[in-house]
Amino acid sequence: MNFNRTTLRLGVFLCLATIVLFLLLFFVFSTNGNITEADYFNYSSLVNCFVMPPLYAGIGFYSAYSNAKIQALSFSQGFRHAFLPQFIGGLLSLSFIFIFFNTVGSWAEDSLQRGWYDLITQSPNPEFMEENKDFVEGMADLSHNMFTFRNFTIAFMAILFFYVMISTIFAVFLRNRKI
């Protein structure tokens, strides 16, 4: 199968899966009055920590593994097959989320911000609170936009680091192997 088409298809699948999870969590929060803002932030964090990394890593591995079944891959080929679907899916879905929070979802952004603040103030870590006093007080101010282009770029760089690390592991594992 054509590398570009397969890569794009897997990247779009990751993007759609991410957007579905994002909108599903948003829908449940916005329609269920029992979920507090702190719970919304907590559930968002749990999804981002325990659902998204295995999903993205799984698709990256699937892409590299399925190509290793066809032919032995060099390190660069294995890396490219694992990295590009994750990159495409991550860039498209994060762009959607960035646009969403900066246009129609500003109240959801405020809810996430208040939820984070509620979690921090409910069980404060004195050391963290002392070292980050200005930051914590700034988060109480809802005019502070958490989803600026600068923050988006920093978050995307951290996510890219994950993509690079996991793709490197897969490329080393599958290098010169025909499965």
- What confidence category does residue 17 fall into, taking pLDDT thresholds of 50, 70 and 90? very high
Tell me the pTM. Answer: 0.87
Residue 86 has pLDDT above 80, yes or no: yes
Helices and strands counted in the chain (H then E):
8, 0
pLDDT per residue as tens digits for the range 121-151:
887 788 887 888 787 777 777 777 778 899 8
Looking at the chain, the whole-number percentage of residues with pLDDT higher than 70 is 97
Secondary structure class of 107 (helix, strand, coil): helix
pLDDT at position 87 over 90: yes
SS3 (DSSP) at 119: helix
DSSP SS3 for 74: coil
Listed residue (127, 117, 10, 118) closest to 60, CA to CA: 10
pLDDT of 39? 87
pLDDT class for 98, splitting at 50, 70, 90? very high
Report, as an integer, the average pLDDT of 103-125.
82
Contact 6, 84 (CB under 8 A): no
Q: Chain-wide mean pLDDT for the chain?
A: 89
Residue 1 clears pLDDT 60, i.e. is over it: no
For residue 49, the model assigns a pLDDT of 93
Per-residue tokens: 33 = 């009055």
Residue 24 pLDDT > 60: yes
pLDDT at 166 > cutoff 70: yes
pLDDT at residue 2 greater than cutoff 70: no
Averaged pLDDT, 46-75: 94
